[in-house]
Structure 1
Amino acid sequence: MICAMPVRSFDEPPPGDETPSQGRQPTAVTAVAAIRAAKQQFGEVTGRQPEAVIGVRAGDGGGWSVLVEVVELDRIPASTSVLATYRVDVDAGGVLQSYERLRRYTRGTTDL
């Protein structure tokens, strides 16, 4: 049996994937979807993939702030590698709005 799929232009967003630039309201995303979007877009922009998500908070206007840990400098032994914590903000539609490094530290460092 052959199933026919509707043909859609690549310029046309998939259903439910409207963006504010098209004059539509963004669809609110869940915390889990915001985390996925923040990690993926942060990695694309910086070229660094987050190792861990250490926090998430609902922001103003339906957006989210996600705290991610990133290896900035790999060292041997790994306990001396330099890590950083970044705050990554996404809007209600899951689109990256901003990011900033909050702190840098060696992997073996603990907070007191």
Structure 2
Amino acid sequence: MATAKSRSRPEREPPNDSEELPAATVAGQARDQVGELTGKEVVGVTSVQPVEEGWLVEVEVLEERRIPSTSDMLALFEAEMDFDGNLLAYRRTKRYPRGRVDGSGS
């Protein structure tokens, strides 16, 4: 997974510890915003990672519902969040059938 560190964007100091949003709150905001923007059903959050500019969150969504459900197509989106929990950018990084365990995707 690529980090946002290499992108040129004005850097902002993290908020004071008393103001910093917890990872769970940022993950929930990323989940909600990616779901709203894609119009897809969110399956869950797979990772939350602090980065210099804020947070990097991976959100799994249901891209295509199929019968049987074991052949549903899922996608993994990477969401860049600032320290206030605002979505800065998102992109799809993988697309794969439900139940794939080998970690590969297209």
Bin the TM-score by the shorter chain.
Answer: 0.7 to 0.9
Can you list the C-alpha shifts for 1:50-104, whole angstroms capped at 9, x where unaligned?
A: 201111100113x111111111000000110100111111100000001111111
Cα offset, 1:36, TM superposition: 1.1
Which residue of the partner structure matches residue 93 of structure 1? 84
Partner of 2:10 in structure 1? none
- TM-score between both structures, scaled by the size of structure 2: 0.74
Stretches of 4+ aligned residues off by more than 4 angstroms: none
The one-character-per-residue Cα deviations of 1:3-53 (angstroms, maximum 9, x if unpaired) are: xxxxxxxxxxxxxxxxxxxxxx96531101101110111122111232011
Q: Give the SS at the match of 1:87.
A: strand
Pair 1:53-2:56 in alignment: no
Aligned Cα RMSD in Å? 1.7
Q: Which runs of 5+ in 1 are unaligned?
A: 1-24
Mark the runs of 5 or more structure 2 residues left unpaired by the alignment.
Answer: 1-13
The TM-score normalised by the length of structure 1 is: 0.71
Asked if 1:71 is matched to 2:71, the reply is no
CA contact (8 A) 2:57 2:79 kept: yes
Per residue, is there more strand in 1 or in 2?
2
